Structures are given as C-alpha cells and as structure tokens.
C-alpha cells in the first residue's frame, strides 16, 4: 500500500509556490501548482491545507490577471464565492489561515475599489503578521498597504510601507518587478508632496529596470509616470516626449486593450489643447473618445468630452456635468485638476466670474481629499507625519492620486500615476 504524503510536506511546497507568485515568476509558479495539485491527490486528509491551497490558487489567478487582464471579469465571481465560502465556513481556521483569508480578501476588495473594506481586512491581517517569518511574504503585505494608502491619499503612511517593502525586495535579485512597483509608489507619493526632484529619480530608475527585464506593460507605465511628473512640473515639452513614447509602447506591443493605454493619450490631448494646437488636439481627441468608448471607460469618455467642451465648443453645461459625474464617483483629484484647467482658461478669456466659480470648485475638491484622511490620523505615531519631503526615520538608499471617498467605494483616478 502506497504511503500518503504528509500535509506539512505539501504545505512547504505551497509556501514556495507563493514566493514564485510574489515574484511574478509565471512558469515556475505554474509548474509548482501542477505538482501541488497532484500531491494533494496523494496526501493525507487535511481540511486546513486544502483551504490554504484554494487561497493560493486565488492569488495565482491574480498574478495571471496582471499579464492577461481580459481574464479578470470571469475570475472575479469565482474568487468572490471562494472567499465567501471560506469566511462563512464552520471549519476552525488556524491563525495562519486567518491571516491569508483576511489579506487576500483585502486584495480582492481593493481590486473592486472598495477601499475602506479592503483596509479593514488588511488591518485584521496585520494582527497576525507576526506569524509570517518569510521576508518576501512580509514585503508583499507591506507593498499592498503602501499601494492602498497611496490610492487613499495617505501619503506618509504609503511611503512608510513602500520603503519597508523596497528594502526587502532589493535584497533579492529575482523580484525586479516588485522593486519597480515600489519605486512607482514612492515616486508618486513624492509627487503628491510636490517634491518633484525626489520623485524623478525613482521614476527614471523604474524605467531603467523595466527596460532591463523587457516588460512592455511596465515600460509603458514608467514612461507615462515620467511624463505625468514633468506635466505636474509644467515642463510640457518634456512631458509630451515621454507621453508619446508611452503611447507608442502600448500601441506597438498590442496593449491598447488596457485602460491604462488611455492615460498618455488623454494627457497628450490635454497638453495640445493648452498649447492651442487645436487641429492636432482634435485628431487625438477623436482617437481618445473612440478608444474610451471601445473600452467602455465612462470616466475617460467624460474627460475627453470635457476637453472639447472647454477648449472648442464653450459648452459650460458639459463642463459642469463632467465635474458632477466625477463628484458622484468621488474622483476629487480629477475634479481638482480639471476645475483648475477651466479656471485658468476662463481667466485668460477675461470671464472672471466663471473663472472664480471653477477655482471654488477646485478648493472644494481639495478640502474633500484632505478630509478623507481623518479616519487614519491616529494610526501612526505623530512624529512620523511630517509636512516636508523627508520621511522621518527612513530614507531609501535606492534611487530610483487615487482618490479617497468616505463612502467606501471609489473608482480609480484615471489620470494619475500607474502603480503597476
């Protein structure tokens, strides 16, 4: 009679599978997954380990969605049912399994843009983090906290966790993609602090790394992030060069099915309108509105319409309707940016009352962004919350705006930095 495999043996292999997932090593992860599935058939019965496998299978699918986004919608319902089944299971979960359930459920809620729900699950997971001894697993948790705090505009919290994750990933040669993601987060946070001289080295280093591994999706995002940073600095010529390069990568590598391919196209159109290059900007506008419709991207459809309404048609109703839609979606940073564009434009035309109204709309958006942070003010020691570009107690040796709504569900901020 053949002896059954012990569940701890299989558990060790699942841990290795998770490390490969965290490193986005698809072939190694797929190989380990196949081996584990076979070993489970030959394993002694262990309900907790089967749940552990199911959770890692969810995480495996999340990794694959990164490379094949088209699979995301079909996986979401399956993943939701799995997490609900585990959460409502009568099986007594070990502390370790509770950590993974809460952590991965937080990841799922984040992908659904239910940010307050996601952070609640992450906080529950953090209570069990002391059980995780593996450096890479802890770094993965820190990165996910950095990611969500960036989207919630909690800049210093995000920076704190991103630097911890970066320190760990930098000690390993095979986690280049996660190092790039950390550099994106740190650069974006510095930009939110208007410390562009600190942001640019992170974005430039991320681009260099992305090119070294030949990942076109990340190269396109890195180029966009650099273009966005120069745009914030009002260096429109340099911004345009990076944005054109970003758009070229997305088009050349057949990545235009990604919504992120709209980022450089919109910002280029925005720049051309500001430079009063109307004919060229209208050509890009037509491309952008068609692509946004093909991708069923409601936000970008409205934002492209906003540009034409402001700079060509003088349709104040469309401008106001766009800002109202963004308000409904709690996309306050987008409101801040577009309302300021409208205020500047009408000020140039000498329509000072109209201009003042849009300045006021911008101020209201800033207030709502700032008010969003009050729930988290006391989560860290106050000495950590600085107001300048230095992160107290930790500066990285490595060189290298999503909105927050108190309602709990906030879509992505379509014109901001790309984190992955």
- Cα–Cα distance between 268 and 73 in angstroms, integer? 30
Take residue 398 and report the two structure tokens written for it: 């490595």
Q: How far is CA 42 from CA 4, 5, 10, 46, in A?
A: 6, 6, 10, 12
Q: Tell me the pLDDT tens digit for each residue of 36-86.
A: 999 999 888 888 888 889 889 988 988 888 777 655 555 667 777 777 777
Radius of gyration of the chain measured on its C-alpha atoms: 23
Q: Tell me the pLDDT tens digit for each residue of 122-181.
A: 999 999 999 999 999 999 999 999 999 988 878 999 999 999 999 999 999 899 999 999
Confidence (pLDDT) at 191: 93
Confidence (pLDDT) at 369: 79
DSSP-assigned letter for residue 313: I
Domain ranges of the chain: 1-63+72-133
Domain 1-63+72-133 has CATH 1.25.40.10: yes
Confidence (pLDDT) at 420: 64
- Cα–Cα distance between 211 and 207 in angstroms, integer? 6
Confidence (pLDDT) at 339: 97
Element (H, E) at 292: helix 278-294
Low-confidence ranges of the chain (pLDDT < 50): 1, 375-415
Q: pTM (2 decimals)? A: 0.81
Q: Which long-range contacts (CB under 8 A, 24 or more apart) does 262-265 make?
A: 262/288, 262/291, 262/292, 262/295, 262/297, 262/300, 262/414, 263/224, 263/228, 263/414, 263/415, 263/418, 264/220, 264/223, 264/224, 264/227, 265/291
């Amino acid at each position: 009679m053949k002896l059954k495999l012990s569940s701890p043996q299989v558990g060790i292999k699942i841990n290795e599978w998770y490390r490969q997932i965290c490193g986005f090593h698809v072939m190694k992860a797929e190989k380990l997954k196949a081996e584990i599935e076979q070993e489970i058939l030959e394993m002694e019965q262990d309900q907790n380990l089967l749940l552990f496998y199911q959770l890692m299978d969810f995480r495996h699918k999340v990794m694959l969605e990164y490379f094949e986004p088209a699979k995301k919608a079909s996986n979401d319902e399956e993943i939701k049912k799995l997490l609900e089944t585990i959460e409502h299971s009568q099986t007594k979960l070990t502390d370790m399994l509770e950590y993974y359930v809460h952590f991965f459920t937080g990841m799922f809620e984040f992908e659904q843009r239910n940010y307050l729900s996601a952070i609640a699950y992450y906080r529950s997971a953090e209570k069990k983090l002391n059980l995780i001894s593996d450096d890479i697993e802890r770094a993965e948790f820190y990165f996910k906290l950095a990611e969500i705090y960036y989207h919630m505009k909690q800049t210093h919290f995000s920076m704190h966790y991103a630097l911890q994750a970066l320190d760990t990933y930098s000690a390993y040669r095979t986690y280049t993609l996660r190092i790039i993601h950390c550099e994106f987060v740190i650069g974006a946070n510095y930009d939110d602090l208007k410390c562009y001289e600190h942001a640019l080295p992170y974005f430039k280093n991320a681009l260099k790394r992305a090119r070294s591994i030949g990942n076109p999706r990340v190269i396109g995002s890195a180029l966009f992030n650099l273009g966005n940073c120069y745009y914030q600095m009002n260096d429109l010529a340099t911004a345009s060069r990076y944005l054109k390069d970003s758009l070229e990568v997305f088009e050349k590598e057949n990545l235009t099915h990604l919504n992120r391919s709209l980022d450089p196209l919109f910002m280029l159109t925005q720049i051309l309108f500001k430079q009063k290059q109307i004919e060229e900007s209208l050509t890009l506008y037509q491309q952008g509105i068609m692509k946004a419709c093909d991708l069923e991207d409601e936000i970008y459809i409205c934002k492209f319409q906003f540009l034409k309404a402001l700079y060509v048609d003088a349709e104040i109703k469309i401008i106001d309707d766009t800002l109202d839609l963004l308000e409904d979606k709690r996309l306050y940073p987008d409101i801040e940016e577009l309302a300021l564009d409208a205020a500047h434009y009408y000020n140039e035309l000498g329509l000072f009352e109209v201009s003042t109204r849009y300045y006021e709309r911008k101020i209201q958006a800033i207030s709502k962004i700032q008010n969003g942070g009050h729930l988290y003010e006391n989560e860290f020691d106050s000495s950590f919350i600085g107001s300048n570009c230095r992160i107290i107690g930790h500066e990285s040796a490595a060189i290298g705006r999503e909105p927050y709504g108190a309602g709990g569900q906030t879509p992505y901020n379509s014109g901001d930095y790309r984190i992955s």
